Amino acid sequence: MQRRDFLASSVTAATALPLVAALASAAPPVPAVDPSRATSGPTPRKGNIRHSVSAWCFSGMPLEKLCSEASMMGFSGIDLLSENEWETPRKYGMVCSIANGPTTISQGLNRVENHDRVEAECHRLLPLAAKSGVTEFMLFSGNRFDMSDEQGLTNCAKALERVLPIAKANGVTIVMELLNSRVDHTDYMCDKTPWGVELCKRVGADNFRLLYDIYHMQIMEGDVIRTIRNNHQYFSHYHTAGNPGRNEIDLTQELNYVAICETLKEVGFKGFLGQEFMPRRDAMTSLRESIDLCDV
């Protein structure tokens, strides 16, 4: 008998009192409330890693709703937002943890014909991004289109020489993402860690770094933990997803995210780890499970 059912019954007060006492003595003890599940505020996190989530994976959910839900789970950033969205996370005590810049995956910095437009847009967008609390700004390499890797490095470095001073003046780091060219982004140029690291070395600027997408680089290279340990100084942001499938980061896939996140903690990473998986089940349940798993 539930308490609400009992109180709604027609038992008289004289009968009810001893029955209530009997039920109370026979009932199992009520477990203590886990403070991390309390609804009065955000779930406290350990603070070793800042947690973010890519909004595009949850495109069926309004951004305001995603921010509300994610902030209560302990996320502090929303990844890959565009200009008209940068202020939204701030309403929920969050930030846009990396902003979309004026390039696309296929059309990026490796095409000289894109440089003037990208520079002009960076002059316009970077002050706005900084005003919204954005500290990382995405610029893609672009696809090869039969261009050699060496020529791509040269062209990307030239473009970065033009935009990095603008970014530095606004306290923003330019980030280029490592993506796989085997499954998801055929012909993408920045598809291997050594190429991206070489670009970082040629530019030699402290406000240019790579986004190491764990899912993408598992497909291209594997050896994720060793790569992080050897190159973490060039990585300012990480993304997750299960492989194969790009779904939840659970036991149905081959990446051990607990061990990977322990490695991030070991190397002293203090940036954002962004959840970027495609949920197959209840999205918010999966999102909570992902942050719980990665909060080492």
Residues 154 and 100 in one domain: yes
- Residue 243 CA: distances (Å) to CA of 86, 144, 283: 30, 25, 18
Range of the domain at 92: 45-294
Q: Which DSSP string corresponds to 81-98?
A: E-GGGTTGGGGGT-EEEE
Residues 7 and 79 in one domain: no
Given a cut of 60, whether residue 25 has pLDDT beyond it is: no
Q: Is residue 40 part of a domain?
A: no
- 88 Cβ partners below 8 Å, 6+ apart? 63, 64, 67, 78, 81
50 vs 272: CA distance, rounded Å: 5
CB 253 within 8 A of CB 245: yes
Q: Is residue 122 part of a domain?
A: yes
Q: Is residue 280 part of a domain?
A: yes
Given a cut of 70, whether residue 175 has pLDDT beyond it is: yes
Residues 103 and 237 in one domain: yes
Reading the block at residue 141, the tokens are 């390499």
What single letter denotes the amino acid at residue 20?
A: V
How does pLDDT run across 206-247, given as a tens digit for each residue? 999 999 999 999 999 999 999 999 999 999 999 999 999 999
70 vs 166: CA distance, rounded Å: 32
What single letter denotes the amino acid at residue 114?
A: N
Residues 6 and 129 in one domain: no
Residues 262 and 187 in one domain: yes
pLDDT (mean) for 174-185: 98
Lowest mean pLDDT among 32-36, 58-62, 266-270: 32-36
Residues 120 and 162 in one domain: yes
Residues 8 and 154 in one domain: no
* CATH code for the domain in which residue 194 is found: 3.20.20.150
Residue 40: which pLDDT band, with cuts at 50, 70 and 90?
low
Q: Is residue 143 part of a domain?
A: yes
Given a cut of 50, whether residue 177 has pLDDT beyond it is: yes
200 vs 263: CA distance, rounded Å: 22
How does pLDDT run across 140-164, given as a tens digit for each residue? 999 999 999 999 999 999 999 999 9
Q: Is residue 11 part of a domain?
A: yes
DSSP label at residue 172: -
Whole-prediction pTM: 0.86
Residues 28 and 50 in one domain: no
Residues 218 and 287 in one domain: yes
272 vs 283: CA distance, rounded Å: 20
Q: Is residue 38 part of a domain?
A: no
